[in-house]
A and B are shown apart, each in its own frame.
Chain A
Amino acid sequence: MKLQRSEAETVAVIEQYSDTLYKIALSYTRCPATAEDILQDTFLKYMQCQIEFENAEHTKAWLIRVVINESKKFYRLFWNSKRIPLEDIYSFEIPERHDIFYAVMNLPKKYRMVIHLFYYEEFSVKEISKILNQKENTVLSWLHRARKLLKRDMEVEYEYRRI
């Protein structure tokens, strides 16, 4: 396959989208090193892909879709499915301030994905359904159950602190 885009063009895309894509890959895989690998593969795919993107939104949506597919591939390998300790996902300066981050990361992957895309990336349910290739109803169910699980997790945490 021929390379469809120049290195300079791809580097510009890295500059613009790597932050967003890294956070999505990290949310899915919960592993910083793997998230970086996924980004590298994604940008190589971008360089080789023959799609004529209509606008920046189209490019972004395509890149997100590839990141999620690559993340799924990572999960399919059984030796990658082992649980990564939550504290290794990201080293915050003051981790205690970010209980909710760890609570989200502790959710099953489909739930943490919809939470991230809905609340952080601020995609609509319709957009998320296209990105994840799921029905809108399914996305709504996942959001509903993710919020419920989060609420339960956070309450358990507070109760633990009171004791």
Chain B
Amino acid sequence: MNIEEYKRAMQEVNVDKDKIKLRFESSMDEKKKKHLRIVQPNNFNRKIRICVTSLILIFMLINVKSLNNADVANFTITVYASDLNKELLLSKNPVSLSTSNQFNIQAITNEGKNSETGSVNFDLNFKCEGKNIRKITYQLSDKTISRENRSEAVAWFAENDDSYGTIPDSTSNEDVSVYRSYRDNTNHTCYVTKMIGNSYSVDYENQNDKQYALEINLFQNEKGELEAKKFTITVILTLDDGSTLEKHILVRPLIADTSEYEISKIEITLK
């Protein structure tokens, strides 16, 4: 595929500037009249409406927040859903996690075991909200995961670094296990993903300071098709008084095309 051909095609696409100018000029008079006639009273009414609506919304938000904070045991977990724009409250009903930020890593380098192994990396946008929470720990059901045995693990946590730089000479560094890169005109730059393992903890106050990610392994079944296994993430909250609270999240990755290293949907459910 030669993208230069797209450029050449686009160069042939021309707009009739005179037509655009004419259309613009003819719509101007009408627009001017309309503005002169209606703008003042409408603006006033509009401002009143906006003020009233804003006050109602602020009032509702304050009430909802105070209700949520009323009971520590009912802490909430929010996630970015599949359209990336909404934060949904996690409940017993399955929520589709956003899969738009996925990067597939096929044939992991320096593994030395199985060149067919591949995994898919997602930005993990979990956020816990509640009262008197000091620390949050996310833990996978899998046993301890290291760089050596991660090809056998169902999934592991990673930290994605958005401050991109040039591609490192070697990926043999223990921390920088894999990377994703792109070519931008002349520069070859990359985003680095550092493997964490099967658990990580964050302070409640700055839980979203870093971009944590989930790396899901894809396995080949007897038919040679790719599949991902479901697993559980345990969320452990440590409160100010030292006590702990737990919630369990079932993660179910689904693959639409079993020959592609790509996950089409991730359903998560509160157990």
- Additional 12 contacts, C-beta under 8 A, given A19-B15, A101-B6: A1-B35, A7-B28, A15-B21, A19-B14, A36-B15, A44-B24, A93-B12, A98-B9, A120-B10, A135-B123, A143-B182, A145-B262
Residues from chain A with a CB closer than 8 A to the CB of B31 are 44
A140→B182 contact, CB < 8 A: yes
- Contact residues of A between 106 and 149, Cβ < 8 Å to B: 115-116, 119-120, 122, 124-125, 134-138, 140-145, 147
Nearest Cβ on chain A to B19's Cβ, whole angstroms: 7
- Contact residues of B between 176 and 192, Cβ < 8 Å to A: 180, 182, 184-185, 191
Kindly state whether residue A154 has any CB partner on chain B within 8 Å.
yes
B10→A11 contact, CB < 8 A: no
Nearest Cβ on chain A to B193's Cβ, whole angstroms: 11
A14-B17, A100-B2, A101-B9 in contact; A137/B24 too (CB < 8 A)? no
Kindly state whether residue B65 has any CB partner on chain A within 8 Å.
no
**Chain A residues within 8 Å of chain B by Cβ, number:** 51
- A-B residue pairs, 10 tightest by C-beta: A101-B9, A22-B15, A98-B9, A100-B5, A100-B6, A154-B1, A119-B3, A120-B10, A40-B23, A141-B101
**Residue of A23, A35, A143 with highest tally of chain B CB at under 10 A:** A23
- Contact residues of B between 55 and 71, Cβ < 8 Å to A: none
Kindly state whether residue A31 has any CB partner on chain B within 8 Å.
no
A92→B9 contact, CB < 8 A: yes
With the chains together, A3 CA to B36 CA distance in Å?
10
B24→A10 contact, CB < 8 A: yes
Number of A-B pairs, beta carbon distance below 8 Å: 118
Query: Of B19, B32, B162, which contacts A36 at CB under 8 A?
Result: B19
Residues from chain B with a CB closer than 8 A to the CB of A39 are 15, 20
B1→A100 contact, CB < 8 A: yes
Secondary structure class of chain A's binding surface, majority of residues: helix
Kindly state whether residue A18 has any CB partner on chain B within 8 Å.
yes
With the chains together, A42 CA to B120 CA distance in Å?
40
Interchain Cβ contacts under 8 Å between A and B, 8 examples: A7-B25, A15-B21, A47-B28, A93-B12, A137-B211, A140-B180, A141-B101, A150-B1
Q: Which residues of A are at the interface with B, using a C-beta cutoff of 8 A?
A: 1-3, 7, 10-11, 14-15, 18-19, 22-23, 26, 35-36, 39-40, 43-44, 47, 90, 92-93, 97-101, 104, 115-116, 119-120, 122, 124-125, 134-138, 140-145, 147, 150-151, 154
A3→B32 contact, CB < 8 A: yes
A14→B7 contact, CB < 8 A: no
Q: CB-CB contacts of B24-42 with A at 8 A, as 1s and 0s?
A: 1101100110010001000
With the chains together, A79 CA to B254 CA distance in Å?
32
Kindly state whether residue B160 has any CB partner on chain A within 8 Å.
yes
Residues from chain A with a CB closer than 8 A to the CB of B17 are 14-15, 18-19
Query: Of A40, A140, A150, which contacts B24 at CB under 8 A?
Result: A40
